[in-house]
């Protein structure tokens, strides 16, 4: 996974990906790694459904950490559009 440097001070970056599993990375306002999680996912054969599962878990993880402001990043254009992000 490659991250571009970003400068939205005060926000957290949450990135969710799925490739046989979910990977969520949370970075601080300077783009530095804060915390992450990984979860195996079985039985998902549709990429968009998998990306939606990853996005949902990323949002849940952010809520568990009491993040009040964050940016959700994803690479499935239709999923991101459906979320209104």
Q: What is the pLDDT of residue 19?
A: 56
Counts for the chain of helices (H) and strands (E), in that order: 2, 4
Q: How many angstroms separate the CA atoms of 43 and 15, rounded?
A: 22
**What is the reported pLDDT for 2?**
36
Domain 12-83 has CATH 3.30.420.10: yes
Q: Label residue 64 by pLDDT band (50, 70, 90).
A: very high
Q: Do 16 and 58 touch, CB atoms closer than 8 A?
A: yes
Instruction: Give the pairing of strands 70-73 and 12-18.
Output: parallel
pTM above 0.85, yes or no: no
CA-wise closest residue to 27 among 47, 2, 52: 2
pLDDT in tens, 6-43: 445 555 655 555 556 788 888 888 888 889 888 888 88
Mean per-residue pLDDT over the chain, rounded? 76
> Where along the chain do its domains lie?
12-83
Nearest to 58 by CA among 2, 16, 1, 19: 16
């Amino acid at each position: 996974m490659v991250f571009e440097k970003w400068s939205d001070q005060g926000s957290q970056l949450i990135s969710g990906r799925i490739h046989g599993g979910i990977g969520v990375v949370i970075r601080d306002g300077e783009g530095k790694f804060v915390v992450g999680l990984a979860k195996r996912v079985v039985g998902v054969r549709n990429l968009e459904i998998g990306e939606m599962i990853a996005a949902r878990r990323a949002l849940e993880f952010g809520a568990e950490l009491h993040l009040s402001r964050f940016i959700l990043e994803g690479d499935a254009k239709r999923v991101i559009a459906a979320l209104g992000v």
